[in-house]
Structure 1
């Protein structure tokens, strides 16, 4: 699943793949709004921690696998 997190006052976003489902990611984001920070792991085992006050948006992508190779 592709996840993108926009950070306030930053021209770049955090973008990574996660092995969690869309529902799990959404629950983490909603809990982060109350907890003060978002902690989420990517598919490689890295952990991202973002203060919830600095989150501009969270985009949760599709769970479908990407195609590999050339498309004719």
Structure 2
């Protein structure tokens, strides 16, 4: 995978594109977990959402860049 992506003359790191993909996937996972009532069991739902996003983003980045 290239380290930089060119988009309309703008060079950006490929992690930016991964961030956007994980953002969409994380939003879908968040909606699914909210529908099944997973967040009722969490002490701090917002903190859980942020940590889930961080774990997803880190896992995808490690899979791509190892």
TM-score (normalizing by structure 1): 0.29
Q: Which has the higher contact order (CA 8 A, sep 6+)?
A: 1
> Which is strand-richer, 1 or 2?
1
Which structure would you say has the larger Rg?
2
TM-score (normalizing by structure 2): 0.30
